[in-house]
Amino acid sequence: MLDLDALVQRTTGFSGADLESLVETAVDYALDSSLSPENLTLITNEHFEDAFDEVKSSTREWLSEARNFGEYANQSGMYDDLRDFLKKHAR
């Protein structure tokens, strides 16, 4: 049985496209481990573990750059909303 709570915890910061790629990669691993088209292997936590080795969050770099704007280029207050959002939601 899949540990969905663990998956949710590990995908914080993943975009929708990142999640799609993670699931597709895990499915590929499950298909690769299937004995035949008639005897398919159910997707497991191990397949997701393998997928996490390949798929990373694509939003972290953007969030880091946005954080820099909010902290260091905000003399006019133009990025106050961005700064506040990142303080509340980004790790």
Q: Are residues 10 and 49 in the same domain?
A: yes
Q: Which two tokens mark 2?
A: 């899949």
Structural domain for 73, as ranges? 60-89
With contact defined as beta carbons under 8 Å apart, do 59 and 15 qualify?
Answer: yes
How many structural domains compose the chain? 2
pLDDT in tens, 39-72: 888 999 999 999 999 999 988 777 777 777 777 7
Q: Are residues 32 and 68 in the same domain?
A: no
Mean pLDDT of the chain: 87
Confirm whether pTM is higher than 0.75.
no
Q: Are residues 32 and 65 in the same domain?
A: no
Q: Are residues 49 and 23 in the same domain?
A: yes
Q: Are residues 10 and 36 in the same domain?
A: yes
Selection from 11, 21, 5 nearest residue 91 by Cα: 11
Q: Are residues 36 and 69 in the same domain?
A: no
Q: Are residues 29 and 72 in the same domain?
A: no
Selection from 90, 9, 89 nearest residue 48 by Cα: 9
From residue 7, give the alpha-carbon distance in Å to each of 27, 33, 59.
14, 21, 17
91 falls in which pLDDT band (50, 70, 90)?
Answer: low
Q: Which two tokens mark 55?
A: 């798929």
User: Of 54 and 89, which is predicted with more confidence?
Assistant: 54
